[in-house]
Amino acid sequence: MSDSLERIPARRIWQVGALCHAIADALEARFGSVTVQGELAGVSRAASGHWYFSLKDAAGQLRCAMFRRAASLLDWQPQEGQQVEVRGRLAVYEARGELQLIVESMRRAGQGALYEDFLRRKAALQALGWFDAARKRVATPYPRGIGLVTSLGAAALRDVASTWARRAPHVPVVLVPALVQGQGAPADLVRALQTLYRLVERQRQGTAPAGIAPIDTIVLVRGGGSLEDLWAFNDEGVAEAIIHSPVPLITGVGHETDFTIADFCADLRAPTPTAAAELAALPREDILHQVTLEGQRLGQWVERRLQNEAQRLDRLGWTLERACGRFRTQSQRLQQIEGRMQHVLPRWLGVHRPRWEAWRQRLEQAVRQQRITREQRMQLSLWQTRMQRVLHLQHAMAVSHLRELERRLHDSVHTALEAQVASLTTLETGLRLMNPQALLQRGYALLQDDQGHLLSHRRDFRLQQQVHARISDGEVLLTPLPVQIPLQGEEGE
């Protein structure tokens, strides 16, 4: 009998905790991650941030725990009686030996169908090219005016308004209110956007009412919510209205993790309404800083330009001086030519006049002797006429050439004198501006010691020293006094 008992194998005896742990391992190996749909019951939140509740239906109930990290990702508040879908893993709470579901994510029941509809709409509109990056425009960082579409009662309006009041109070805003949630929200959003579009077109045509700043950017915002709350921004009519915006359009719908079809159609998507306001306009401080930098660059450019023009003026003065020398040389040469013409022309006439006189006498003698034919007389008369014309033409050309040279000389000298007068006027103005007396008349003083040395630094002064201060209408005597506060940059002296 004792031998038979010894041959019976001993059964394993489990410790309670070990058995619970083994059951948990078996459940995790068998089911892994599961998705469960049911009604919330016994919802409570611990001080640690963990959520505890039960998930039930008509046939059963399951205890659930949602730890703080997963609960912080919810953008809505779980409430008693809500139908939800949760995803998590089965586990055993060993302290009580209870089966429970460790929830990793939760959403309202029915959002799975909405999300599938969202994906279908997104794929269809993407195929039409509504999301193409090529059609998206860059919003100007310096808008003259901003158009805003949101709900009057939305927290997003307060966030956007406070952001612009703090960062860009100089930019005027045109608000067109619209519903952002509910059955009538899509049509109301389209109406508000088209109202701004018509205003932009009228401003471009010059027929808009006076006093409204030109709209360069449109901002469409709404606060966070569930997929169902944001569904108006997934409407195809709203998407079509967005892609036809005449100016760049920025959306800020929901939180950073929320994406809508309106975001894909917009020229720029911001993660939140506040971020959309920040992207619509640069801060006033940044603009003022850029204006200061541009002013400095402009001043430097003007200074370089003045220096270049001063050098150019000097070169022109030297060129003018050399030109005046050439003009004087040409004038002397013209006078020499004119003198030579006055001497050469009478000599030329004196040389040829005896020949003409001889021909005339011979012609008269032949006529008297009637030894010349009629044809010969005509030829001689024609030759005499031609000679007279040649002499007259040469004389006229010489006189015209002399007059043209005289006119050109007069014009050149006149132009050179005008340029010289303008240069002297500019130099006179510069000297007048650099006159020390002019600085004294503006409130400055020239400080000198008894020997007439200029005092321009603090180290040049001595106590009880007589200082001669020259001002605009005379001179006064000053005596330096000790001071306790050193000037900036002289602490080490």
Give me the chain's average pLDDT, please.
Answer: 82
- C-alpha dihedral over 19, 23, 28, 29, to 10 degrees? 100
**83, 119 contact by CB (below 8 A):** no
Q: What is the pLDDT of residue 220?
A: 95
Token readout for 428 is: 């006179």
E strand residue ranges, 46-171: 51-56, 61-66, 83-93, 98-108, 146-150
Confidence tier at 377 by pLDDT (50, 70, 90): low
User: Cα–Cα distances in Å, from 17 out to 41, 96, 99, 156, 358?
Assistant: 28, 10, 14, 52, 161
Cα 137 to Cα 267: distance, rounded to the nearest angstrom: 6
Q: What is the pLDDT of residue 372?
A: 54
Q: What is the pLDDT of residue 67?
A: 92
Average pLDDT rounded to a whole number, residues 349-375: 70
- Using DSSP, state whether 397 is helix, strand or coil: helix
Statement: residue 250 has pLDDT above 60: yes
Average pLDDT rounded to a whole number, residues 241-264: 92
Statement: residue 424 has pLDDT above 70: yes
For 185, phi then psi, to 5°, come to: -65, -45
Statement: residue 493 has pLDDT above 50: no
Confidence tier at 251 by pLDDT (50, 70, 90): very high
Q: What is the pLDDT of residue 490?
A: 45
**Among 248-262, 288-302, 459-473, whose mean pLDDT is lowest?**
459-473
Q: What is the pLDDT of residue 189?
A: 95
Q: Which residue has the tokens 């005597």?
A: 477
- Using DSSP, state whether 40 is helix, strand or coil: strand
Average pLDDT rounded to a whole number, residues 293-304: 84
For CA atoms 86, 87, 90, 94, the dihedral sign is: negative
Q: What is the pLDDT of residues 190-225, one digit of tens each?
A: 999 999 999 999 999 999 888 888 999 999 999 888
Q: What is the pLDDT of residue 376?
A: 67
Q: What is the pLDDT of residue 3?
A: 52
- Burial per residue of 421-452, b for 16 or more beta-carbon CB atoms within 10 angstroms, e otherwise: eeeeeeeeeeeeeeeeeeeeeeeeebbbeeee
Confidence tier at 309 by pLDDT (50, 70, 90): confident
Q: What is the pLDDT of residue 405?
A: 76
- C-alpha dihedral over 143, 145, 149, 155, to 10 degrees? 80
Average pLDDT rounded to a whole number, residues 32-54: 89
Statement: residue 432 has pLDDT above 50: yes
Q: What is the pLDDT of residues 53-102, one digit of tens each?
A: 999 888 889 899 999 999 988 877 888 878 888 999 888 887 787 888 88
**Among 183-187, 205-209, 291-295, 429-433, whose mean pLDDT is lowest?**
429-433
Average pLDDT rounded to a whole number, residues 438-450: 74
**Among 142-151, 255-264, 431-440, whose mean pLDDT is lowest?**
431-440
Q: Which residue has the higher pLDDT, 140 or 418?
A: 140
Confidence tier at 374 by pLDDT (50, 70, 90): low
Confidence tier at 151 by pLDDT (50, 70, 90): very high
Q: What is the pLDDT of residue 74?
A: 86
Q: What is the pLDDT of residues 159-183, one digit of tens each?
A: 999 999 999 898 999 999 999 998 8
What does pTM read for this prediction?
Answer: 0.47
Q: What is the pLDDT of residue 1?
A: 46
Q: What is the pLDDT of residue 492?
A: 41
As a whole-number percent, the residues of the chain with pLDDT over 90 amount to: 30
Q: What is the DSSP letter of 213?
A: P
Confidence tier at 403 by pLDDT (50, 70, 90): confident
Q: Which residue has the higher pLDDT, 376 or 157?
A: 157
Token readout for 269 is: 């998507």
Q: What is the pLDDT of residues 448-457, one digit of tens each?
A: 787 777 777 7
Q: Which residue has the higher pLDDT, 183 or 484?
A: 183
**Among 218-232, 253-267, 317-331, whose mean pLDDT is lowest?**
317-331
- C-alpha dihedral over 145, 148, 153, 158, to 10 degrees? -50
Statement: residue 34 has pLDDT above 50: yes
